[in-house]
Amino acid sequence: MSAPTNVSADKPVKRPTRLFLCGDVMTGRGIDQILRQPCDPVLHENGARSALDYLHLAEDANGPIPRGVGPSYVWGSALEELDRMRPDLRIINLETSITRSVNYEPKGINYRMSPENADCLKAADIDCCVLGNNHVLDWGCAGLLDTLDTLDHLQIKAAGAGRSLAGAGAPAVLEASGGGRVLVFSFASVSSGVPRDWEVTAAAPGVNLLSHISKADAVRIAEEIVGKRRVGDLVVVSVHWGPNWGYEILEQQRRFAHTLIDKADVSVVHGHSSHHPKAIEVYRNRLILYGCGDFLNDYEGIGGYEEYRDDLVLMYFADFDPGSREMCGLEMVPLQIRRFQLARPTTDDIRWMQRTLNQKYADFELSVTLRKDGHFVLSWTRDPPAMSMGSAKDTTDL
């Protein structure tokens, strides 16, 4: 990926701002058990009473998994790619409560990892964890507060959940290594299974909840963004939305994403919740990820939905022009979850993923090519450069 070339010779060329993005990172339950200081493995699920059950399922599927591993183990080959690609910032959806709380929510599935094992996030130099999702309160408000305290201790920014209304709604403000700020806003949608009583209130901690995915919601969010951004800020809006399975892109999701871009000059709509990668769209040279897919989990050996190949995951490396904040390149790195670690897929698996992505991307006039280094490179027809954006009230309605 290269920077735009239409820059006059008498001005220094600013390199693009590169973001690493991925989908759900679930380092709890079975994964927590192989790290050095796990929680009590007790679970409250209909089908499993111990987190060790998931460890045994994975071992039955793919072979022995070591115990007491160091914090970098789970990232495996992803660390090599992060070192190679050198993103300015690393943003993940952390779908795990970091706590030893025993006050579980009776919702059937509860993810947690011990605060002592959260150094695995530092092992990958994560800059921001979005918390607007349907698992961050799996162990109650105490679990959420522990999560916030642990991330603060690790100096990792968080967005999408908080101790107060202001805290849950505030963006994470990140400083890119090449200069400039990146604002990350995070929202959880009830369409992804977030209980409505998890919404943050004036009296209780909680998540930044969206009851609907509508144009009206997008207009309101756009006005909030315009009120908080500075000139030159690059904005990411991260949304946990929709079901776990299926490739359908809902029209209300498209309207929501387009409105954020039209009215608030958002550079990335970072969608997640699906357990497998879904289609993406490039709209006005901005990136819309409708479903990043899972990135880390303990689902190996669990039957059902095999046709989606949720063991195959993607790293997204997106480059943005620092002046226009438009995307100027996207590379995606395919990996595979195997033995609770990210590994290189086989050539056949990579080719399957390329075919599947191109089938889903065709509706948006996009395609990916496979390079010799195993990276997918996105091709799209670039729109003319956008006019500079004013306030939300200045932009033309859809």
pLDDT tens digits, the chain, 398 residues: what are they?
444 444 444 555 679 999 999 999 999 999 999 999 999 999 999 889 999 999 999 999 999 999 999 999 999 999 999 999 999 999 999 999 999 999 999 999 999 999 999 999 999 999 999 999 999 999 999 999 999 999 999 999 999 999 999 999 999 999 998 789 999 999 999 999 999 999 999 999 999 999 999 999 999 999 999 999 999 999 999 999 999 999 999 999 999 999 999 999 999 999 999 999 999 999 999 999 999 999 999 999 999 999 999 999 999 999 999 999 999 999 999 999 999 999 999 999 999 999 999 999 999 999 999 999 999 999 998 887 655 443 333 332 22
What is the model's pLDDT at position 2?
42
What is the model's pLDDT at position 11?
57
> pLDDT for 347-372, tens place per residue?
999 999 999 999 999 999 999 999 99
Report residue 271 CA to chain centroid gap. 7
* Distance between CA atoms of residues 58 and 30, nearest Å: 9
What is the model's pLDDT at position 87?
97
* Burial label, 300 (beta-carbon count in 10 A; 0-12, 13-18, 19+): buried
Of 68, 128, 140, 56, the closest CA to residue 92 belongs to 128
What is the model's pLDDT at position 385?
66
CA distances from 4 to 1, 84, 194, 232 (A): 10, 21, 41, 17
* Distance between CA atoms of residues 93 and 157, nearest Å: 12
Q: In degrees rounded to 5, what are phi and psi of residue 17?
A: -85, 125
What is the model's pLDDT at position 14?
78
Written as six digits, the tokens of 12 are 């220094």
Percentage of residues in the chain having pLDDT higher than 70:
93
Q: If you search the block for the tokens 């949608």, which residue do you land on?
A: 189
Of 330, 258, 340, the closest CA to residue 297 belongs to 340
What is the model's pLDDT at position 178?
78
* Distance between CA atoms of residues 383 and 323, nearest Å: 16
* Long-range contact set of residues 228-234: C-beta below 8 Å, sequence gap at least 24: 228/171, 228/183, 229/183, 229/264, 230/181, 232/180, 232/181, 232/322, 232/325, 233/180, 233/181, 233/182, 233/183, 234/17, 234/176, 234/180, 234/181, 234/182, 234/183, 234/267, 234/320, 234/322, 234/325
Q: Which domains does the chain have, with CATH numbers?
A: 77-383 (3.60.21.10)
* Distance between CA atoms of residues 355 and 359, nearest Å: 6
Written as six digits, the tokens of 139 are 């162990």
What is the model's pLDDT at position 30?
98
What is the model's pLDDT at position 386?
59
